[in-house]
Chains A and B, each alone.
Chain A
Amino acid sequence: MPKALVDTLKGAISWREPGTLLSTVGHALVLGLGLYSFSSAKPFTPAQEAIAVDVVSDSQFSEMMRGDKESKVVAKTPERRVDRVAETKEDKDPGQAKRDVPAPPSRSEPQQAEVKPEPQPPQQQLAAIIPPTRPPELRVAPPVPTPPVKAEEDDREDEQAELMRRKKIEEQRKLEEAKAAAEAKRKLDEKLKAEAEAQKRAEDLKKAEEQKKAEEQKKAEERRKAEAEKKAREEKARREAAEEQKLNDAIRNRLLASREAPSSTGSTGAAVSNRSTAGTTQATGSKLSPSDRMQLIGILTEQMNRCINYSGSAPKTGPQITFTLGRDGAIVSQVQLANRSGEPNFVPFAEASMRALRNCQPYRIPARFMDTYEDWKNVRLNIDTSEMQ
């Protein structure tokens, strides 16, 4: 309506009713203030807790401590070192054989086909009776220790020296005689002098020879001595080594003879693993929902029921059995009965159930339960006997 609009505008402008004008101006002002004060949001300063308290549940704790305490390796899934595969025990119903013996191979062909070899004379035994021939080395007489050659050689050297000396003296004499005959019978003094010189020379030579001989003797003596010492040292070392060897052997034999088995047999597990890792970085194991848990128990019970072999009446109290399942569906712990009852048929029934549990493994567990393995690995199975009455 244009007239109403005009009236409103007139009213807005008139001073008698300034409400519209004032209101508009006021709102504009408030909006401006709002734009100014709300132009940016102040981010929160993150509150610092005085003490961070985390409530860690039982399963979270075990999840966290699953790995090795001392390992520095952090893997996605913690693993423990396994030295050998845990042995599995067969458990049979009473009256059955304790263990399964592999069946003998059946004869498909007639026996005549096989040719029996003629019994050979036991030559080996005869050979054993004959005394062993002596090895050829032993037949040779032990070598006689050769006497030291050094002294003989020395003597021979002396003789040679003597011979040489004699020869030299003769030559000298011959020479002197020739000289005397040839040139100077007249020079007597000269001859005497020459004779004297020759004698002196001969004496010198002899002296030198003697000295040399003494020196050689001394040297030989020293060499003999050194050799003897060396031999003695070697002998001593050999003896000591032999003694040590003997002692070591004695200790080893003593240790080997100890009848006590080694106290550690290594850790056991489903599969051998040569490394261990630390726990998970975050202690949040996934949980199994109650309905899934019931479903899993149902799966286990159904599989177990196929193996149960019990002919008597079921007790009113259902046995409660606890065990630990591995990821592959095998039972990795002892199967234990968690409750008791005075009923006479309780124990046979419970034992039959436990046998069935053990014999039925590995259990087929759907893959979707694998994420929550840590939550359901410890199973408590309540066997309901109300329907068996």
Chain B
Amino acid sequence: MPGADATPDLSLIALFLHAHFIVKLVMLGLMAASVWSWAIIINKAMMLRAMKARMNEFEDTFWSGQSLDELYRSLHQKTTDGFAALFVAAMGEWRRTFEGSGRGFASLQTRIDKVLDVSISREVERLESKLLVLATIASVGPYIGLFGTVFGIMTTFRSIAASKNTSLAVVAPGIAEALFATAIALVAAIPANIFYNKFVKDVSRTQGRLESFADEFSAILSRQIDERAGQTAARGAA
């Protein structure tokens, strides 16, 4: 770069190397936080996207009029998520009731509801995992950066006091390296905050969809239970 040797070395590496040990630590920590938060953001975005696609696909299949037993048979071997996980859990409970003694209709409805609730909460937990990290980075990152800046400026002022020179050329590099810490913190915190908000909204929407599906499915199964109970009662009466 032309003129680089005329001015003092102000590249990022020089800024980092000139900084105080604690400021260096802060910068490195914030850098790691940024890497981590972006990793979470990418993974979470991909996961939510894939989950939404699979849920839509399952919904299409579910309402296409296909036999539920067939659907269960095609799904219960795989690892499932979203609607499919709910469906597999509820159907498993249903089938286990009929494969066994064939009795126990009275509490089947309750059991299915419980299983659905547990599945929903498990799914939501999976969706929400690591969002707390994003929230923490978003809220605490700027403070950490500010700490680095304040510390850097503190050392700069100490240097000014020691060198007894207040010209801006003496003050500026120290302040620039101190501000570098805040810059890194903001770089880490701003995306974390934005994506945290987006993911929280996405997760709550998914949760709502899961709950409504669970209610619908529970209603379907309840109708089936009642039908079976009626048949059994009729057979018993005959």
Interface size class of B (residues with CB under 8 A): 20 to 34
- Say how far B131's CB is from chain A's closest CB, in angstroms: 13
A42 CA / B46 CA spacing, docked (Å):
41
Given contacts A17-B46, A27-B31, A34-B12, contact A40 B7 (CB under 8 A): yes
Report how far A24 CA is from B34 CA in the complex, Å.
9
Q: Are A19 and B7 in contact (CB under 8 A)?
A: no
Give A20-37 as 1s and 0s: 1 = Cβ < 8 Å from B's Cβ atoms: 111110110001001100
Contact of A43 with B11 in the complex, beta carbons under 8 Å: no
Q: How far is the CA of A362 from the CA of B135 in the complex (A)?
A: 78
A24 engages B35 (CB within 8 Å)? yes
Contact of B42 among A23, A39, A40, A43 (CB under 8 A): A23
- CB of B41 within 8 A of CB of A19, answer yes
Interface residue? B100 (CB, 8 A): no
The residue of chain B having its C-beta at the shortest distance from the C-beta of A24 within the complex is B35
- Contact of B7 with A22 in the complex, beta carbons under 8 Å: no
List of A residues within 8 angstroms of B44 by Cβ: 19
Does B36 sit at the interface, judged by CB under 8 A? yes
Residue ID in chain B nearest A30 by CB atoms: B187
Q: A31 — which chain B residues lie within 8 A by C-beta?
A: 12
Separation in Å of the B36 CB from the closest CB of chain A?
7
CB distance from A10 to the nearest CB of B (A): 13
> Which residues of A lie under 8 Å from residue B34 when comparing CB positions?
27
Are A38 and B39 neighbours in the complex by a CB distance under 8 Å? no
Q: B4 at interface (Cβ–Cβ under 8 A)?
A: yes
- Does A18 belong to the interface (CB within 8 Å)? yes
Give per-residue flags for A364-389: 1 if the beta carbon is below 8 A from chain B beta carbons, else 0. Answer: 00000000000000000000000000
The yes or no answer to A41 lying at the interface (CB within 8 A) is yes
B4, B7, B35, B46: the one contacting A23 at CB < 8 Å is: B35
Asked if B165 lies at the interface with its beta carbon under 8 angstroms from chain A, I say: no
* B13 CB-CB contact with A under 8 Å: yes
- Which residues of A have CB within 8 Å of B43? 11, 17-20
Interface residues of A in 122-179 (CB under 8 A from B): none
Contact residues in B for A19 (Cβ distance below 8 Å) = 38-44, 46
Q: Which residue of B lies closest to A11 (CB)?
A: B43
How far is the CB of A17 from the nearest CB of chain B, in Å?
Answer: 5
CB neighbours (8 Å) of B42 from chain A are 18-19, 22-23
The reply to whether A39 and B35 form a contact with Cβ atoms under 8 Å apart is no
Contacts of A34 in B (CB 8 A): 12
> Given the interface contacts A17-B46, A40-B7, does A35 sit within 8 Å of B12 by beta carbon?
yes
- Does any Cβ of A come within 8 Å of B102's Cβ? no
Cross-chain contact B39 with A39 (CB below 8 angstroms): no
B154 within 8 A of A: no
Q: B10, A41: Cβ atoms under 8 Å?
A: yes
B3 within 8 A of A: yes
Residues of A within 8 A of B38 (CB): 19, 22-23, 26-27
CA A21 to CA B42, docked complex, whole Å: 10
Q: Which of B3, B10, B40 contacts A38 (CB 8 A)?
A: B10
Check: B1 CB closer than 8 A to any chain A CB.
yes
Give the CA-CA distance A19 to B35 in the complex, in Å.
9
Q: Which residues of A contact B (CB under 8 A)?
A: 11-12, 17-24, 26-27, 31, 34-35, 38-43
Nearest 5 pairs of A and B residues by beta carbon: A19-B43, A19-B42, A23-B38, A41-B10, A23-B39
Beyond A19-B46, A23-B36, 13 extra complex contacts between A and B, CB < 8 Å: A17-B47, A18-B42, A20-B43, A22-B38, A22-B42, A23-B35, A23-B41, A35-B11, A35-B13, A39-B12, A40-B3, A40-B11, A43-B7
Residues of B within 8 A of A (CB): 1, 3-4, 7, 9-13, 31, 34-44, 46-47
